[in-house]
């Protein structure tokens, strides 16, 4: 029999099935774009690694119709926020933080920012939701398949892959390739993407174990408990962490190791010792599930694409887990990219639209890497306030902690410095603005000439709603048939949306003209008295930044692409010009065939 070299053809090849790759696959499949996703391992993440799932990431699940599936496996915000600092889980409490927007002040901020809530979803429960949805919607998912190399030309990319079960090599030919292959990205390396920063700055061991710890936690529910303990150290910072993976029976113990020293001990015996040290009670029954290591990185890519190959997720931004930004940002990279790829592949947009992925997401990568690393650097200050290095012995640590309760001016100063340092670490868990205020400047955002508003509140800490083009559409509730509807639910699903109000009929004509000339489907939603959706709380009028007959043009990823203050002065031509700019098309573009 004649043998043929295996060759698969597809529109988009996705390397990696982590949060970034699986989100890209699910989104592309939902948008009707043929894609293949490969993963060198035989299954999804086999440990809980990432867990904080922020509002903007949950919104992506909501847009995909998967929010309920996510919530079904999530631990809710109400059980996440009591972060206890102590000597061990059963030991002396030293202070507490109210994290993940559970402090009443921040809870209001959180609820005002999104219809979705932050939640805790271990990565080994989150990935299957995206992978299943992708597969059900048409993605060809290939496990045990590893990328070896690739080449690109003017028309596409040829990727050489190996089936790790059979050892058989084959070629996958695609029009575009997404490198979602994580922190050791081969794709980024072969593309020779420029990076800034350093890898492997500290080392930590993750011990995943089962233990019934309800009696120590249920009355002070948090997703992380932080311990100042001799011999412990997260990435060399002297703080050990007990992280809840399932309340209150599945856990991840985090324990530092010297990255420049001997190979860390990953035996189950050592795992039990770590778990018992963190719990502070050797008599608790502990069942080790797995042991693994991870490193502290401080690296971001100055470019995330070359030609037909685009990188998402940890492939282009690598940082510590503080602020829980890794998986979340990775999912949002794919949310930014997927609709652009879909329009380019349908021939509706010029490939130049893809360049806006670089312009919009490289600055986000830089910002989150800096944020997570700066947050991590708040931890040594807790030890410094005690006049200790990050690795004190038991006796020294105990005496320093005891001295905090002493009377007198010296002890008071130390006490206050310790308490301030401890509270200052809240920045590692409460940066709503970093999550929600992304502000894009690119050719896929048409400036309306209005100056950038002077946001009176800190852009990292607080959510500042704005419809200035480039910002995320502000969250607000509308009413339809007496029921509350999130404005986000009027948008997304791979389509552009025009939001307008009373007297905005002209926008229907404008949207029709765009479809006839450029083939882009635009959904027009009317909001206001007597419209499709009632602005019963008055929030749309207050936040939209445009007049009743004006319009907001919302991209498929919920970002404001353009806005028009008024309607009557506008003509259908105006929206057409806007789309020609966004799609990188000239005015002589012919209509859809």
Q: Is 376 in the site for ligand FDA (CB under 6 A)?
A: no
| Nearest residue (CB) to ligand FDA, 183 versus 522 | 183
Report the nearest approach of ligand FDA to the CB of residue 51 (Å): 4
Q: Cα separation of 327 and 311, whole Å?
A: 14
Q: Which of 14, 27, 36, 50 binds ligand FDA (CB under 6 A)?
A: 50
Binding-residue total with ligand FDA (CB under 6 A):
35
Q: Is 240 in the site for ligand FDA (CB under 6 A)?
A: no
Stretch near ligand FDA under the rule CB under 6 A, chosen from 323-331, 409-417, 486-494, 498-506: 323-331
Q: Cα separation of 218 and 35, whole Å?
A: 44
Q: Cα separation of 303 and 309, whole Å?
A: 12
Q: Cα separation of 164 and 146, whole Å?
A: 7
Report the nearest approach of ligand FDA to the CB of residue 351 (Å): 24
HSE at residue 572, side-chain half, CA atoms within 13 A, is: 12
Ramachandran category for residue 166: left, alpha or beta (phi over 0 → left; psi -120 to 50 → alpha): alpha
| Nearest residue (CB) to ligand FDA, 177 versus 561 | 177
495-532: b (≥16 Cβ within 10 Å) or e: ebbbbbbbbbebbeebbebbeebbbbebebbbbbeebe
Q: Which of 325, 478, 490, 551 binds ligand FDA (CB under 6 A)?
A: 325
Report the nearest approach of ligand FDA to the CB of residue 4 (Å): 23
Report the nearest approach of ligand FDA to the CB of residue 275 (Å): 16
DSSP per-residue letters across 33-74:
--EEEE-SSSSS-SS----EE-HHHHHHHHHTT-HHHHHHHP
Q: Is 294 in the site for ligand FDA (CB under 6 A)?
A: yes
Are 169 and 160 a contacting pair, CB within 8 Å? Answer: yes
Q: Is 464 in the site for ligand FDA (CB under 6 A)?
A: no
| Nearest residue (CB) to ligand FDA, 239 versus 386 | 239
| Nearest residue (CB) to ligand FDA, 317 versus 517 | 317
Are 115 and 476 a contacting pair, CB within 8 Å? Answer: no
Q: Which of 51, 142, 555, 585 binds ligand FDA (CB under 6 A)?
A: 51
Q: Which of 87, 330, 430, 564 binds ligand FDA (CB under 6 A)?
A: 330
Q: Is 182 in the site for ligand FDA (CB under 6 A)?
A: yes
Q: Which of 314, 535, 539, 549 binds ligand FDA (CB under 6 A)?
A: 314
Q: Which residues does 215 contact at the CB level (< 8 Å), separation at least 6?
A: none
| Nearest residue (CB) to ligand FDA, 202 versus 501 | 202
Report the nearest approach of ligand FDA to the CB of residue 197 (Å): 15
| Nearest residue (CB) to ligand FDA, 49 versus 475 | 49
| Nearest residue (CB) to ligand FDA, 326 versus 504 | 326
Q: Are strands 224-228 and 239-246 parallel, antiparallel or unpaired?
A: antiparallel
CA-nearest of 563, 554, 546 to 524 is 554
CA distances from 157 to 172, 177, 180 (A): 8, 7, 15
Q: Cα separation of 554 and 250, whole Å?
A: 41
CB atoms within 10 A of CB 451: 6
CA distances from 142 to 41, 190, 336, 355 (A): 9, 22, 24, 29
Given 3-state DSSP classes, what are the helix, strand and coil percentages for the chain, each rounded to the nearest 5? 35, 25, 40
| Nearest residue (CB) to ligand FDA, 246 versus 415 | 246
Q: Which of 240, 326, 433, 465 binds ligand FDA (CB under 6 A)?
A: 326
| Nearest residue (CB) to ligand FDA, 180 versus 341 | 180
Q: Cα separation of 352 and 160, whole Å?
A: 27
Report the nearest approach of ligand FDA to the CB of residue 219 (Å): 24
Report the nearest approach of ligand FDA to the CB of residue 295 (Å): 8
Q: Which of 129, 131, 141, 147 binds ligand FDA (CB under 6 A)?
A: 147
Stretch near ligand FDA under the rule CB under 6 A, chosen from 319-327, 407-415, 445-453, 479-487: 319-327
Report the nearest approach of ligand FDA to the CB of residue 48 (Å): 8
* Interface of this chain with ligand FDA, residues 188 to 207, rule: CB under 6 A: 206
Q: Which of 10, 33, 35, 49 binds ligand FDA (CB under 6 A)?
A: 49
Build a one-symbol-per-residue string for 9-48: x at contacts with ligand FDA by CB under 6 A, - elsewhere: ------xxxxxxx----------------xxxx-------
DSSP state of 493: T
Report the nearest approach of ligand FDA to the CB of residue 457 (Å): 24
- Which residues are bridge partners to 469 per DSSP? 471
Q: Which spans of this chain sit near ligand FDA (rule: CB under 6 A)? A: 15-21, 38-41, 49-52, 123, 146-147, 180-183, 186, 206, 294, 313-315, 321, 324-328, 330
């Amino acid at each position: 029999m004649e043998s043929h070299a295996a060759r698969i053809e597809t529109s988009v090849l996705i390397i990696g099935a982590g949060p970034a790759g699986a989100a890209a696959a699910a989104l592309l499949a939902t948008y009707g774009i043929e894609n293949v996703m490969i993963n060198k391992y035989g299954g999804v993440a086999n440990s809980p690694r990432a867990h904080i799932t922020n509002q903007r990431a949950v919104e992506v699940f909501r847009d995909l119709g998967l929010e309920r599936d996510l919530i079904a496996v999530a631990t809710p915000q109400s059980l996440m926020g009591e972060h206890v600092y102590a000597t061990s889980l059963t030991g002396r409490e030293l202070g507490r933080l109210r994290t993940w927007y559970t402090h009443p002040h921040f809870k209001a901020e959180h609820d005002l920012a999104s219809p979705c809530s932050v939640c805790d979803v271990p990565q080994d429960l989150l990935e299957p939701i995206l992978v299943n949805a992708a597969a059900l919607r048409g993605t060809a998912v290939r496990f045990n398949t590893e990328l070896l190399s690739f080449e690109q030309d003017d028309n596409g990319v040829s990727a050489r892959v190996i089936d790790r079960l059979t050892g058989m090599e084959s070629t996958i030919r695609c029009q575009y390739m997404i490198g979602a292959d994580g922190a050791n990205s081969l794709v980024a390396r072969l593309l020779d993407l420029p990076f800034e920063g350093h890898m492997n700055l500290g080392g930590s061991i993750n011990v995943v174990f089962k233990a019934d710890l309800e009696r120590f936690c249920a009355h002070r529910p948090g997703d992380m408990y932080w311990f100042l303990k001799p011999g412990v150290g997260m990435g060399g910072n002297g703080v050990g962490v007990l992280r809840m993976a399932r309340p209150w029976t599945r856990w991840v113990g985090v324990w530092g190791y010297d990255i420049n020293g001997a190979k860390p001990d990953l035996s189950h015996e050592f795992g039990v010792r770590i778990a018992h040290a963190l719990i502070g009670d050797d008599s608790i029954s502990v069942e080790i599930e797995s042991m693994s290591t991870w490193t502290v990185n401080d690296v971001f890519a100055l470019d995330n694409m070359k030609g037909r190959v685009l990188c998402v997720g940890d492939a282009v931004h690598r940082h510590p887990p503080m602020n829980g930004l890794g998986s979340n940002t990775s999912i949002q990279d794919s949310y930014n990219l997927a609709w652009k790829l879909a329009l380019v592949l349908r021939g509706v947009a010029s490939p130049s639209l893809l360049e806006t992925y670089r312009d919009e997401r490289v600055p986000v990568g830089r910002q989150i890497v800096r944020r997570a690393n700066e947050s991590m650097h708040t931890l040594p200050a807790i030890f410094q306030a005690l006049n200790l290095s990050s690795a004190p012995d038991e006796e020294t640590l105990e005496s320093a902690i005891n001295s905090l309760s002493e009377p007198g001016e010296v002890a008071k100063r130390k006490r206050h410095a310790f308490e301030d340092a401890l509270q200052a670490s809240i920045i590692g868990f409460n940066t709503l603005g970093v999550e929600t205020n992304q502000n894009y400047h690119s050719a896929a955002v048409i400036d309306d000439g209005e100056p950038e508003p002077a946001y009176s509140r800190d852009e990292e800490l607080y959510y500042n709603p704005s419809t200035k083009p480039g910002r995320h559409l502000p969250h607000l509730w509308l009413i339809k048939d007496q029921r509350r509807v999130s404005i986000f639910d009027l948008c997304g699903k791979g389509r552009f949306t025009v939001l307008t109000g009373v007297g905005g009929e002209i926008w229907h004509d404008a949207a029709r003209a765009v479809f006839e000339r450029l083939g882009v489907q635009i959904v027009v939603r009317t909001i206001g008295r007597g419209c499709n959706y009632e602005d019963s709380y008055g929030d749309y009028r207050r936040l939209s930044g445009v007049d009743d007959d004006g319009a907001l043009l919302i991209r498929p990823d919920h970002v404001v692409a353009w806005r028009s203050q008024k309607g009557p002065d506008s003509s259908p031509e105006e929206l057409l010009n806007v789309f020609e700019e966004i799609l990188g098309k000239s005015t002589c573009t012919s209509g859809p065939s």
